[in-house]
A and B are shown apart, each in its own frame.
Chain A
């Protein structure tokens, strides 16, 4: 029995044991001085090996991406009443351009295609557009989120300019309750690449909201906002299906 356990040291060191065996081995470590010594020795012998790595330059924009994703992890869920807002119109020419990009994104995110089209046609109804451009207005943009097929959910996303910084406010209704560690995750997409943009869990009425200060550094052309249901609050890319989305 003991001998069997001692044979697991290498796999323990390399994290190759399943949870149960891992815990069993840690128990064994408490009892087996040989294994403790060997483990200490392995750690000592390998301590500096990472320095053998040949230097490789990380992508120049990696830092921005990573820190933005890291710092949004502390984002707290806020339950706020979202006031009714008039959409902020843009000049026709500019709007046209902005609607083209979502289609590119949609080709990557097939489930979004329908929604992008839905928005396109909806947008066309508002052809009488004011020529005034939105400048430092508080609300940069409001979009209603379109439910994916078979979803009863609905919601709104707003981009708000606050002291030169952009905040994304997302609100949704009719959300299913979460179970276990599930959370609703908001994503901002740029050319099909998702960036985390707020996490929330709905209240008992199925309503949820989150305010997210967009702090992904650098120039970004967000083309889509989407909400998914994720198994836990640390998904780096969407694991769940898109429930709600809209072109931006």
Chain B
């Protein structure tokens, strides 16, 4: 676990299978969990993770330092791929509630950052008002269109963007800042 993501990615670039496998081992669970949160289906989540790693492996130079932190970039790609998959199947899970993942055997985060951020974030989200919780979910985790969100909330199209920003800013304020990250 000594290699940094950037070092590993460099090796992936050179065709080192082991380096990709290390990245895979590091992020498998996070990416799977993220995709499962979005798609609500394990099979679909697996397909998403596979698609992400195929891109990572085949498209040389798909990531570069200019795209920000590797992990953030990887998570964003996974989120976008998940939403794409959902849209392709035209299946938006009807269950929009937070924290309702039916899990027979509870699992734990395997990355330090996930562990720290995760509990704080979930706590903060749960403290948001119901409307703002739903806004974060529909916008970020379901990736709905502006129109779809307007319909869900029965609000004018023109106010959607403002409501999203408000909810996200509110959330950001409620999450304690642990350290300064490259969120420029």
Contacts and interface: CB of A to CB of B under 8 A. Distances in A.
Interface of A: 7, 9-11, 14-16, 38, 40-42, 44-59, 62-63, 65-67, 69-71, 73-74, 234, 236
Given A49-B121, A54-B103, A10 B146 contact: yes
B136 A49 contact: yes
B38 to A, nearest CB: 9
Nearest to A215: B17
22 contacts: A7-B161, A10-B139, A10-B149, A16-B143, A44-B183, A45-B171, A46-B140, A46-B168, A48-B175, A48-B181, A49-B136, A49-B141, A51-B121, A52-B125, A53-B33, A54-B101, A55-B33, A58-B28, A66-B53, A67-B21, A67-B53, A234-B54
Contact of A55 (B17, B29, B172): B29
Given A10-B146, A63-B28, A56 B33 contact: yes
Interface stretch (B2-10, B76-84, B89-97): B76-84
Interface in B101-153: 101, 103, 105, 107-110, 113-114, 117-118, 121-122, 125, 136, 139-141, 143-146, 149
Given A51-B113, A51-B121, A66-B46, A15 B99 contact: no
B174 interface: no
A188 B46 CA distance: 19
Given A55-B107, A55-B114, A58-B32, 14 more contacts: A14-B139, A14-B145, A15-B83, A15-B143, A44-B183, A45-B172, A48-B175, A49-B140, A52-B118, A54-B33, A56-B33, A65-B46, A73-B54, A74-B15
B145 A16 contact: yes
A16 B83 CA distance: 10
B158 to A, nearest CB: 7
Contacts, number: 152
Contacts of B146: 7, 10-11, 16
Given A41-B165, A42-B168, A67-B24, A55 B110 contact: yes
Contacts of A50: 30, 34, 75-76, 78-79
Given A45-B168, A53-B33, A55-B108, A62 B54 contact: no
Contacts of B109: 55
A143 B59 CA distance: 35
A55 B101 CA distance: 9
A63 B171 CA distance: 34
Tell me if B's interface is mostly helix, strand, loop or mixed.
helix
A interface majority secondary structure: helix
Given A45-B168, A57-B29, A63 B47 contact: no
Nearest to B80: A15
Contact of A53 (B34, B136, B158): B34
Nearest to B117: A51
Interface of B: 15, 17, 20-21, 24-25, 28-30, 32-34, 36-37, 42, 45-47, 49-51, 53-54, 57-58, 72, 75-76, 78-80, 83-84, 99, 101, 103, 105, 107-110, 113-114, 117-118, 121-122, 125, 136, 139-141, 143-146, 149, 157-158, 160-161, 164-165, 168-169, 171-172, 175, 181, 183-184
Q: Which of B17, B25, B139, B146 counts the most A-chain CB atoms under 10 A from its CB?
A: B146
A236 B50 contact: yes
**B107, B140, B181: most-surrounded residue (chain A CB, <10 A):** B140
Contacts of A53: 30, 33-34, 36-37, 118
A45 B76 CA distance: 13
Contact of B28 (A15, A62, A236): A62
B181 A47 contact: yes
Nearest to A10: B146
A14 to B, nearest CB: 4
3 tightest A-B CB contacts, nearest first? A51-B117, A50-B75, A45-B168
A56 B107 contact: yes
A58 B72 CA distance: 20
A59 B42 contact: yes
